[in-house]
Amino acid sequence: MRLSKACTIYIYDKLRQLRAKGDPIAKNFYLPGPWTRIEVQYKGGGLPFRKFKDIKRYGEIDMLEDISFWEAGRIPDGSSPMQSLAAEGLLRKIDEVGLQMALKSFPSQERAYIVKKFLRPASDSKFPDLNKLMRKRVREWLSDVIRFPRLRPRSRT
């Protein structure tokens, strides 16, 4: 999640959210996962375009400009057993609550150390160009191309 006065960006696993809420779709249908969902929510006066006639311009803007991805749990060469355990604990915490919430549970000085010691920027080859994909999906939505997962009922065996 990125939070600012004008905009909030959420990146989460929609399938895990549905299961956590006990949603009937998650219970009654076969859902291969995970489903990564990206939402950009503009607040109040933060909308880039306010007139309806300009709505197509949302397919052109870069809504994810400041988003970066990190790899977690790196155990540096020559690490002590305590550092290895700390990296494993960090991974478990990240799996449980997500990276941002895991880091928020530490004071700022410790957070800086953890980022330096156990995290590194993910290589570009591991992630598609999310900005390009998001602009494409917005243009498709504005053109009435609806994409949704094909659901089949869960087998009762």
107 vs 148: CA distance, rounded Å: 41
pTM of the predicted model over 0.85: no
pLDDT tens for the chain, 157 residues long, are 455 677 788 888 888 888 888 888 877 777 776 777 888 888 877 778 888 888 888 888 888 877 777 777 667 777 888 888 888 888 888 888 878 788 888 888 888 888 888 888 877 777 778 888 888 888 888 888 876 656 666 665 5
CB 35 within 8 A of CB 13: yes
Q: Of 19, 115, 149, 2, which is closest to residue 63 (Cα–Cα)?
A: 2
CB 80 within 8 A of CB 26: no
CB 126 within 8 A of CB 1: no
On the CB side of 9, CA atoms within 13 Å amount to 15
